[in-house]
């Protein structure tokens, strides 16, 4: 059975590509009927073009798929946090992002389409700076995310989404044509597009097998991390976000480390939902499984060191990108992250120092700061960076903005709850259509602030005291 997404012609100009990609989506029900993990490698064509531009990652999706067909490791006996508000399906927060979706594909103003605009199309749109990046490529990243949703949300996305399939695949085809015609072969736009295709491959494979009944995992931690960065879109967004900084300060910016630290903003917030659904592909879970210890400190250490590197090198794009992920995460009603964070009790402080923050060599190898912190349990960005004056300049710029901006409305007020931030983030998204300043300021402020409660989210000793109800792991 041929699936165009894995074939040799996806980057070859053809008016038939959109139809072929639509056919791939329609094949999912049939493939699921007789699917087993050993079949995954057979989907990959011998001359698959995916990986042509992001060459270092060319075989990651294939190799990770092959690993699942071999003997798996059982998850160690580590307590995991699961108490949380329920994860929702396609639930809208408002109507702010519908106009972004309508720039690509016309849809009616209904709760369903507002939810698609926020949680699907809006993910890349909210994360990418439309002030400085190629607008056609921003739209391209968004329609790739929409295409991936047919597999990612297969269990609950509803029949309405099927109405957009033809228009969606046509836009994906147009994005491929645009990138290959208008952007250089060695440029970030081609690499980012290639990574989008890899992500869609990974998500397509994910939906073909049944949901896990317990936590097992394959043998290579670094490969699983790389796969998670690809499959989540974090790698593509990192590559493309960096293209917006002029001039580039560091020609060898650690894309993988930035992608990891940025994606951590989603994965730590969503860890309880992932644990409940036995989902392995969460950065904290991957690290915990392979080290045999709860991975919060190790993930947090890399997070802090990456932002210290970014400040020292004035790589503002990295700070903005990660903060935008957190802003989007808080705004999405589906995840109920603000409700979770507002109702967490402080965890057991005695457990903070039982796991060495530099206890995972894989993360140490990713770390752009090769000199370890002499105080590994000091998770303060300012104390870790060398260029403290630039840190203070960035932070104070945020405070001055919040003082006068009516939309951000004193975002730094210590009396505000996480829920209180949502309206202000929505205002920043609304302004983003013409100016990304408010969103970048909010993003910077959150990345430079301690926000200790964020790191309580995956901690099983931090008890959740808010409303709970049963929810289906099919919503994960």
Q: pLDDT tens-digit profile of 386-412?
A: 999 999 999 999 999 999 999 999 999
Mean pLDDT of 306-312: 97
Give the pLDDT of residue 45: 75
Res 20: pLDDT = 95
d(CA 321, CA 327): 10
Residue 192, domain member (yes or no): yes
Q: How many structural domains comprise the chain?
A: 1
Residue 274: pLDDT over 60:
yes
Model confidence at 268, pLDDT cuts 50, 70, 90, reads very high
DSSP lists the bridge partners of residue 74 as: 216
Q: Between vectors from CA 174 to CA 116 and to CA 114, what angle results, nearest 5°? A: 10
Q: Is residue 50, in this structure, part of any structural domain at all?
A: no
Mean pLDDT of 461-467: 96
Distance between CA atoms of residues 409 and 151, nearest Å: 39
Within a domain: residue 52? no
Within 13 Å, how many C-alpha atoms sit on residue 378's CB side? Answer: 11
Bond preceding residue 395 cis, omega within 30 of 0: no
Q: Is 386 helix (H, G, I), strand (E, B) or coil?
A: coil
Predicted confidence at residue 254, as pLDDT, reads 92
| Dist CA 308 CA 8 (whole Å) | 42
In a domain, residue 47? The reply is no
pLDDT at residue 247 above 80?
A: no
pLDDT at residue 297 in the model: 96
Nearest-angstrom CA–CA distance, 312 and 211: 43
Alpha-carbon distance of 446 to 49, in angstroms, equals: 39
Note whether residue 48 is domain-resident: no
Q: Is residue 258 part of a domain?
A: yes
The neighbour count for residue 210, using CB atoms within 10 Å, is 8
Model pLDDT for residues 193-241, shown as the tens digit of each residue: 999 999 999 999 999 988 788 899 999 999 999 999 999 999 999 999 9
Q: Note the pLDDT of residue 472.
A: 87
Residue 190 lies in a domain: yes
- pLDDT higher than threshold 60 for residue 52: yes
Percentage above 70 pLDDT, the chain? 98
pLDDT, mean of residues 252-262: 91
For residue 207, report the phi and psi dihedrals to the nearest 5 degrees: -75, -15
Give the β-pairing of 73-74 and 216-217: antiparallel
The boundaries of the domain holding residue 97 are 12-36+57-461
- Asked if residue 41 belongs to a domain, the reply is no
Instruction: Give yes or no for residue 253 having a pLDDT over 90.
Output: no
> What does the pLDDT read at residue 233?
98
Flag whether pLDDT at 162 surpasses 60. yes
CA 370 to chain centroid = 25
pLDDT at 250 over 70: no
Residue 167 carries which DSSP code?
A: H
């Amino acid at each position: 059975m041929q699936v165009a997404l894995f074939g040799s012609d996806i980057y070859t100009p053809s008016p038939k590509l959109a139809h072929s990609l639509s056919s791939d989506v329609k094949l999912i029900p049939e493939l699921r009927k007789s699917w087993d993990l050993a079949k995954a490698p057979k989907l990959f064509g011998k001359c698959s073009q995916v990986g042509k531009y992001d060459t270092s990652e060319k075989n990651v999706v294939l190799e990770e798929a092959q690993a699942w067909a071999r003997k798996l490791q059982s998850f160690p006996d580590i307590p995991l946090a699961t108490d949380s508000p329920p994860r929702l399906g396609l639930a809208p927060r408002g109507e702010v992002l519908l106009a972004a979706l309508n720039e690509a594909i016309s849809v009616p103003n209904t709760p369903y389409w507002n939810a698609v605009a926020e949680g699907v199309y809006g993910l890349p749109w909210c994360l990418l700076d439309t002030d400085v990046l190629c607008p056609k490529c921003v739209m391209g990243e968004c329609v790739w995310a929409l295409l991936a949703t047919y597999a990612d949300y297969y269990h609950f996305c509803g029949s309405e989404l099927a109405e957009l399939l033809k228009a969606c695949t046509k836009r994906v085809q147009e994005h491929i044509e645009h990138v290959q015609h208008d952007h250089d072969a060695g440029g970030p736009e081609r690499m980012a597009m290639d990574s989008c295709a890899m992500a869609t491959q990974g998500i397509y494979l994910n939906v073909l097998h049944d949901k896990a009944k317990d936590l097992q995992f394959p043998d290579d931690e670094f490969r699983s991390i790389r796969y998670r960065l690809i499959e989540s879109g974090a790698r593509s967004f990192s590559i493309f976000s960096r293209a917006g900084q002029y001039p580039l300060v560091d020609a060898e910016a650690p894309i993988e480390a930035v992608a990891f630290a940025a994606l951590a903003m989603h994965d730590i917030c969503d860890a309880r939902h992932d644990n409940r659904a036995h989902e392995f592909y969460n950065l904290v879970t991957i690290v915990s499984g392979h080290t045999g210890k709860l991975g919060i400190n190790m993930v947090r250490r890399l997070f802090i060191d990456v932002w210290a590197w970014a400040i020292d090198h004035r790589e503002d794009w990295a700070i903005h990108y990660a903060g935008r992920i957190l802003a989007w995460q808080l705004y999405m009603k589906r995840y109920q992250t603000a409700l979770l964070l507002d109702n967490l009790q402080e965890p057991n402080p005695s457990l903070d120092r039982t796991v060495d923050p530099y206890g995972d060599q894989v993360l140490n190898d990713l770390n752009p700061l090769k000199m370890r912190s002499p105080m590994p349990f000091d998770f303060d960005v300012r104390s870790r960076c060398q260029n403290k004056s630039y840190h203070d300049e960035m932070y104070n710029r945020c405070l001055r903005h919040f003082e006068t901006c009516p939309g951000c409305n004193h975002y730094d007020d210590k009396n505000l709850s996480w829920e209180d931030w949502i309206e202000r983030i929505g205002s920043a998204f609304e302004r983003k259509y013409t100016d990304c300043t408010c969103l970048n300021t909010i993003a910077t402020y959150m990345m430079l602030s301690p926000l200790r409660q964020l790191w309580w989210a995956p901690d099983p000793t931090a008890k959740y005291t808010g409303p709970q109800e049963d929810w289906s792991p099919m919503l994960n």
